Structure 1
Amino acid sequence: MSFIWKDWNKADKTLLAAFAAFLMALATHLYCPGNRVAEGFLFCAEAALVGGIADWFAVTALFRKPLGFPYHTAILPRRRAAFVKASVTMVQKEFFSRRKIFRHLERLHLLPMLLSWLRAPETKERLTHQMLHYMRDFLLRQDAQAQAEAIAAQVREVVGDIEPEAFFAGIGRWLQESGRDHAALARLAAQLRPRIEADETRTAFFHMLEAYEKERAGGTLGLFMAGLAEALGLVDLEEAAAIIQRQLLAMADELGEEGSPLQEKVLELIYEQAAVLNSDAEFHLMMHKLKNSIEGELPIEDVALSAIEHLREHFAADQARAVDPLEEHLPMLHSRLAEILEAEYDRAIALMETDEELRHTVGHFLYDLIARSALHAQTLVGVIVESVLGRLTDEQLNHLVYDKVEPDLLWIRMNGSIVGAGIGLVMYLLLLVFH
């Protein structure tokens, strides 16, 4: 019994209390007939019980059929279509009305919010990385044959515009200004030194000196004198070969030393001879023929097409194993593209911060975009609400509504008993007065 009592709400308890009061008042009236107080008590208790029952019936009739009464009861389940339609209209017209949407958007500072998001380091990194992927995918989607022909046309145009004199002069200036001429000589000296130091080189010098000595001696008497000098130790060809080898090693070391006199002298000699060669008419004629040959006869299209297809195969294989092909195979190109995109990204943000016309254009675009999206969402929200409410059973729909207004409905039922008792008391007093 106590378990059932705990499950009752306060309106049920109030109605039960009104019924108990009615029984008590009826017993008092029967025990004390003609007593004014007993009659008034019965009058008030009866009115409270009738008011409580009437309000219980009215509240219950909203959701189900009280005591199986079929007429104008279970109003919400019977009118669920109208309820769903009214809910959709309320959501669309009240919560997502055009006026409220625009009023909320006007209070938002869209452009500062966008700039704050764009300035975040993680946003910059993510967007530039995504743009790199878009560029790579765009290039891979292009027609390989058309790309090869375009590259070949560009190469032929560049080769056609090249003048050999200016080209070689420019290379010389670039080598001097960049200091790569010194580095090239140093690498050359480093490559030559192991060869000079090898025993085979010393043996070759020995045979060369020996052949030279025999050539100088000539005749029987010369050979006899040369053999006598070698026997007496006057001429040591092996020592001479070792001396030559040591001298060449010393020259290679000096040639590889940055800014050494020998290195400067060699470079001066190279540039001097290059200038003489660059002014030679026959050299010019040969270079122009070579340029025309490269421009007209080399299979540049085939080479470019093969390179593009090979590159695509590598990129496709790398994408299959979730690896960035640009970063793996062309790290310098990847880094350079990333630098360019980051610089342009920073430039675009700075431009949006300083250019008032651009700020106005971007702000208007954002406002228009979000407003249109919100207005389109108005219809979408209505469809969602209608779909969700339409799938509910009658019991689920009753609980959905009842749970939201349960305290008010309970007070309505309690007020029926309270107001009924008050009205019963007033009516009884009026009857006494008029009687």
Structure 2
Amino acid sequence: MSKRTWNKADRVLFFAFIVFLCALFLHLQMKNSVVVSGFLFCAEAALVGGIADWFAVTALFKKPLGFPYHTAILPRRRQSFIKASVTMVQKEFFSRRKVFRHLERLHLMPMLMQWLSEKDTRDKVSHQLYHYARGFLLRKDSEKKAMEIAAELRRRLQTMEPETLFASIGGWLQQSGRDKDFLAKLSAYLCVQAEKPETAKAIQEMLERYEKEKAKSTLALFLTGLAEAMDLVNLEDAAKIMQKQLVNMLKELGTRDSHLQQEMLELFYEKAAVLNAEPEFHQLVHELRDSLVAELPIEEAVARAAAHMRAHFDADAARKVDAVEEHLPVLRSRLADIIEEEYDRGLHLLQEDDELRHTVGHFLYDLIARSALHAQTLVGVVVENVLSRLTDEQLNHLVYDKVEPDLLWIRMNGSIVGAGIGFVLFCILQFFPLNS
């Protein structure tokens, strides 16, 4: 109950007592005055009504003036009160009918779609999914997973068709333009080598050997010597000219989409296709594949890589650093991109597919309804535990504080109504005296 000593009802009751004393004093001075007698009658009724209601209200929470019979009702009936409170909360606030009625008013799917479309939600969900994916990659059973990965790699290598692989590589090179980039880099390297003086000297030596092999007969030797004597054949100048032409050809070969480059690539892919279809080549690459797969230490390499990675991850965990982001930034970026793409794809699918949206909405409705119904029992347990831990005084305060204004008015109304009834009774007695 309230700790205040004098509330409104107390002041009204005290005022009624003072008025009664004044009326009693006046009545003793003027016993024959009808007005004074009526005033005393009303004051008595007001005082009795106020005291009666004070007793009744106080008896709800404690024993007024130590009166033991049918008082302190709430502390004595606390178990019944707690049980009634639990029943009220479960049956009234969390009843099945009210739960389903409120759920029917909710538009779950529009609310869900709006929430999922918000940038903050997307960032949080994507970030959480990334952490799940990272946790999957950093699981403790790395040795077992390493053996599984190695076995899968060996199996795929054993069943791989080299011709298909070569064709796929060729298609990828053409589509991505990497073949032109590779040819440009190769041409640039060869161009640098071709411009060196050693290249011109090598060309000159090659021409000299060619001339010596060609001039076997006496007539050929005679004509060659005559040409050299007359300076008609200068192998050094010829070598420089050929070197210059070779450099120009290599530069044209490295120029993107040049005629020579296109012809070279077409010739390469044409010959590669012919070679890929040869039975001898087929047999050769399959033998090489089988030999390579049998001799490769795949399990050891994968286990060593996994152990090395695990050591780095453990060190990063000790430093509270994201291991994937620090050591594998490309993988981290790719994981984030994949998660965001799949999130957008799932959201778009949810917006476009009516059947999927209906299924998800029904699932959410059923989930929330079942959770709310299960919460009915949980709320009852919580309410019962909380109320059971309260002392009698705390329980009185809990109830009294919620209805204090009404209880005060009940007490004040006792004095007011008592005074009114006293006035009415006095008037009746004046008009209809008992001794008549």
> Is TM > 0.5 for Structure 1 vs Structure 2?
yes
**Deviation (angstroms), 1:162:** 4.1
Quote the residue 1:98 is aligned against: 96
Quote the residue 1:254 is aligned against: 252
1:148 and 1:305 in contact (8 A); partners too: yes
2:370, 2:171 → 1: CA distance?
Answer: 61
1:415, 1:375 → 2: CA distance?
Answer: 44
1:344, 1:212 → 2: CA distance?
Answer: 67
1:279, 1:381 → 2: CA distance?
Answer: 76
**Deviation (angstroms), 1:121:** 3.5
**Deviation (angstroms), 1:38:** 1.7
Q: Which segment drifts farther, 177-186 or 166-175?
A: 166-175
**Deviation (angstroms), 1:146:** 4.9
Residue 52 of structure 2: which of 51, 54, 71 is its match? 54
SS at match of 1:34: coil
2:183 and 2:254 in contact (8 A); partners too: yes
In the TM superposition, what are the counterparts of 1:33-432 in structure 2 within 5 Å? 33-141=31-139, 143-144=141-142, 146-197=144-195, 201-203=196-198, 205-206=200-201, 209=204, 246-275=244-273, 277-278=275-276, 280-318=278-316, 321-323=320-322, 325=324, 328-331=329-332, 333-334=334-335, 337-338=338-339, 341-342=342-343, 344-346=345-347, 348-350=349-351, 353-355=353-355, 358-432=356-430
1:132 and 1:337 in contact (8 A); partners too: no
When the two chains are superposed, the root-mean-square deviation of aligned CA atoms in Å is 3.7
The one-letter code matched in structure 1 to 2:396 is N
SS at match of 1:63: coil
Q: 1:264 to 1:146 in 2, by over 3 A?
A: same
2:350, 2:314 → 1: CA distance?
Answer: 34
**Deviation (angstroms), 1:256:** 1.4
Q: 1:316 to 1:116 in 2, by over 3 A?
A: farther
**Deviation (angstroms), 1:332:** 6.3
**Deviation (angstroms), 1:112:** 3.0
Quote the residue 1:3 is aligned against: none
The one-letter code matched in structure 2 to 1:191 is Y
**Deviation (angstroms), 1:272:** 4.9
**Deviation (angstroms), 1:297:** 3.0
2:126 and 2:336 in contact (8 A); partners too: no
The one-letter code matched in structure 1 to 2:324 is P
Q: 1:401 to 1:172 in 2, by over 3 A?
A: closer
The one-letter code matched in structure 2 to 1:354 is D
**Deviation (angstroms), 1:314:** 4.3
1:268, 1:371 → 2: CA distance?
Answer: 68
SS at match of 2:396: helix
1:400, 1:268 → 2: CA distance?
Answer: 92
1:240, 1:210 → 2: CA distance?
Answer: 11
Residue ranges of structure 1 left out of the alignment (5+ in a row):
1-5
The one-letter code matched in structure 1 to 2:339 is A
**Deviation (angstroms), 1:185:** 0.5
2:346, 2:112 → 1: CA distance?
Answer: 14
The one-letter code matched in structure 2 to 1:286 is L
**Deviation (angstroms), 1:44:** 1.3
**Deviation (angstroms), 1:181:** 2.1
Q: 1:339 to 1:309 in 2, by over 3 A?
A: farther
1:173, 1:414 → 2: CA distance?
Answer: 98
Q: 1:203 to 1:18 in 2, by over 3 A?
A: same
1:83-134 C-alpha deviation (Å, 9 max, x unpaired): 2232222222222222222222222222332233233343334334433433
1:202 and 1:242 in contact (8 A); partners too: no
SS at match of 1:184: helix
The one-letter code matched in structure 2 to 1:325 is V
Q: Which segment drifts farther, 400-409 or 258-267?
A: 258-267
Count, aligned residues: 414
SS at match of 2:265: helix
Q: Which segment drifts farther, 421-430 or 304-313?
A: 304-313
**Deviation (angstroms), 1:254:** 1.7
2:143 and 2:307 in contact (8 A); partners too: no
Q: 1:261 to 1:93 in 2, by over 3 A?
A: closer
